Structure 1
Amino acid sequence: MATQKTLHCPICRKDVALDDPNVPFCSDRCRVIDLGKWASGEYKITSPILDPDVLADLDNAQLRKLNEDTDDDD
């Protein structure tokens, strides 16, 4: 007999089978609660971006934005 692998729902901690359509949540209710926490700012990603390519892209985007803003002022 094979045991079914499970996770714990991040909201209510109930067991959730990996083949459940709501994985990693146990229900749509817990999925919506989690979404609300992201939307309200309760969850935050706090680790800095260390990938040099991503940092370069961010710098380039900021420079383009500054150039656009300066062009709009003219």
Structure 2
Amino acid sequence: MSKKVTTVKCPHCNKAVEWSEQSPFRPFCSKKCQMIDFGTWANEEKAIPGAPDMSDADGWSEDHTSV
């Protein structure tokens, strides 16, 4: 009985990548594609949507009572 091989597309270049121990950079096809993707996250070109961080905004406080 043969084992089915799972294949995914590299998120950067769309090359087919075998999802196994033989592909150390999975889901990326190579270290190059992995680092290009990392760079886009590090440069904040990609982001996970969420509420804006208001913790360092001028005059912001969780205490809404007047002083």
Short-chain TM bin: 0.5 to 0.7
Post-superposition offset of 1:47: 3.9
1:35 partnered with 2:38: yes
What stretches of structure 1 move > 2 A for 4+ residues in a row? none
Residue type of the partner of 2:43?
A: S
* Deviations, residues 12-64 of structure 1 (Å, cap 9, x unaligned): 0000000111101000000000010001111111045xxxxxxxxxxxxx6xx
Number of aligned residues: 49
Identity %: 39
Q: Secondary structure at the match of 2:46?
A: coil
- Provide TM-score, normalisation by structure 2: 0.65
Give the unaligned 5+ runs of structure 1.
49-61, 63-74
Task: Please give the residue correspondences for 1:1-74 in structure 2 after superposition, counting only pairs within 5 Å.
Answer: 1-19=2-20, 20-48=23-51
Give the unaligned 5+ runs of structure 2.
56-67
Richer in helix (by share): 1
Q: Secondary structure at the match of 1:38?
A: helix
